[in-house]
Structure 1
Amino acid sequence: MFSDAVLEGVSVESVWRKSQEGHRESRSCQTNPLKTKDACNQTCGIREMGTQTEKNVNQRTLDVDLGPLLDYPDLGQFLKRVEGVVIKELEKNLKSHAFDGFDVNWEEQNELVTCLHSLQYPEALELQLQVTSVSWNSTGSVVACSYGRLGDGDWSTEKSYVCTWNLDRRGFLPNHPDTVIDVQSSVMCLAFHPLQPSLIAGGLYNGEVLLWDTSRTDDPLIGRTGLTADTHTDAVYQVILLPAEEKIILVYYWVMFILSILHISQ
């Protein structure tokens, strides 16, 4: 009974609009002239005031005279160049409220927390070495720990280990680390690079800082500070790796620490 059909468009011309085209008129209006006036004001005098806070006698500061040390042109230029960046980061930390309102609860136990893995390195257990540091890499799947001595023993010469486990790896075994690095001095701290998951730094009891690349199977050690008569020889208890644009801050902190040690030793 019915079928589809396509028809051409139909337009209807307005007879009223056509009849009104001959009755158009133009009108205009002019406002009265506007009156304007310019005025200005000049102060008669200027007065400056200032105040000085009293020195807090209870505040402890490190009295380090950097005058003789700044005689080295390169060091002085470096400190001036990074001063703005360091001050900016310090002010950012001072204004941070990330942990406001959080209190540590040491008494309440969360029964929902369960132990997923118990990682062990048999050779370290045989030597009765202790875990001195733990660090996760940026992927969240690899954990590294260092074995050393926190109690008695010759920390500077006793062998220690750095081990890594990939928890997402097929065939993962808690008692068999994926990477085992032998270190000739006790490793006191570890830190993975925040952006490069294979780079890990370690601080030793003898004062050295080592850098390993776990992607290299033959020799993962790619850098070390070394030991000389003028280098830092106290134990390193914390290391941190920063992205490339922030390395200058780490170097600045390291230089200031060395300068303070030199001053105190004198």
Structure 2
Amino acid sequence: MTQANCGTNDGTATVNVVSGGSGTFSYLWDVPAGSQTSATAVSVLAGTYTVVVTDDVTGCTKDTTVTVTSTTGITVTANFIQDAQCNGASDGSAYPTIVGGTAPFTFSWNTAPIAQTDSILLAGAGFYTLSVTDGNGCTGSDTITINEPTAVVASIVSSTDETCLGANNGSATVGGAQGTGGYTYLWMPGGQTTANATGLAPGDYTAYVYDDNLCVDSVQVTINPGPMMTSTHTSVDVSCFNGTNGSIDVTVGGAPGAISYAWT
């Protein structure tokens, strides 16, 4: 008998006539690979098989059983999978479960460079195959998928420049899309934490948008300074003492809208 390897059908079973008979015999094996008619049955799985031996001269028959054993096959399941937390991140992982086989085991992941550990860590999104070889040379493998969420996308919805020089009343609104769950916001400089930042002085600002996984995207916006108002005037003196026919004419430039006046 030759042991089957790793639970496959490469075992053999042989019967020998040790005494009696004419010396010329026929054989009939009842094996899964089909009826075989030689002294040795080939390509058999582990199990117990019956062979009938017939003396070709006398026609006498005798049956016996032969048991074929096997080294244990190995089944690999790469489970306990942790997907990447953010789009483009390399923090995914997977751990295998091994059923059967004989220790010690060696491991090989199809990474570059090849990882030879039982688990894969710091992995980005993609397909990974784990091959395991046991102490008998039996092998098993499994392919797993590490996924990643869609990327967070930040965009400026609207912005308003300063209305006039020195007013420091600019504003901007940022929006988030994709990612996972809801969003939180941070404006820098300034540290405002709402989607709409107000009271902005002229300058450049960066808005950060975070999703529920703390994945982040950022976008920049510029608040431009408001116009500087200018004024000129002309005047006409009164013609006589205590007269009331004097006048002042004021001309205003650079105003962004309607102008109101107050005289004192």
TM tier relative to shorter chain: under 0.3
TM-score (norm 2): 0.17
* Structure with the higher fraction of residues in strand conformation: 2
Of structures 1 and 2, the larger Rg is shown by 2
